[in-house]
Structure 1
Amino acid sequence: MRTLVDLTLAPGHRRGHGALYGRLNQGRINVARPRRALAGMPLPRPADGRLVLAVDASPWLRPDASTCADRAFCHTFGRGEGKHQMVPGWPYSVVAALETGRTSWTAVLDAVRLEPGADVAAETTVQVREVIERLVAAGRWRPGDPEVLVVLDA
């Protein structure tokens, strides 16, 4: 099995895989390894070959989870009433590589949970810099390639 999903879909899988889930429960996942692996994967690119990275903050809303730690108030629009609301949850900053064209294929390269009171601009700057450094280290961008375009919103 290569992934947790493969493991749970295996016909002989009737109980938890002790070693894997034991490791997850102990909190010993090396986050840097999957981040490096994602940077080394084939990435979508527009026709000109440049890397286009999009950064967006998206909330994971948890209004009924009052005992969950570190929730913040996340800005939402709509939710059935067509108005701006602040709802408890966790905001995440996500960086994805984009391509142009009809497929709109994206490849998520990084996601960071933004802590309450975080300086979002500073956190995003560090996140984008680290993603680009991993892409350079993985050989996905080299000197002489078109400059990386980073698309952000307010």
Structure 2
Amino acid sequence: MRLPKPPRIYDPKGGCPPKHGPEFRFTKPQTWPEPAITTATDTVNYGKAEAQAGDRVHPRLTHRSAWLEHDGELPIVEGTLVRLKADHLSKDREAPPVWLWSSKTGAVPADVDV
């Protein structure tokens, strides 16, 4: 995944502006930006469930699978990335975080809660 591209800064040397921002890795928290939205809900079965969301995160597409027949430059499909973490699963098992991605940008806290 990639974060949004940085704002363009004038460079007297020229060159093409970047298409992608910094790399986002699910297993490396140091690559995660501050969440734009954080919500928390108390649940009956899972304890506290916390959702953190970032906007305009996109996968870096390659000419594989669905894009194999695509001619030209691949599009940038931005969306909202949500990290959902619950206190525990049923029978008090540990709950690993779940990552969800939606192609909707501009999510609000009510969208993230859904």
Settle same-fold status: TM greater than 0.5: no
Q: Under a length normalisation based on structure 1, what TM-score does the superposition of the two structures give?
A: 0.24
Indicate the structure (1 or 2) with the bigger Cα radius of gyration. 1
Greater relative CO (CA pairs within 8 A, separation 6+): 1
Q: Under a length normalisation based on structure 2, what TM-score does the superposition of the two structures give?
A: 0.30
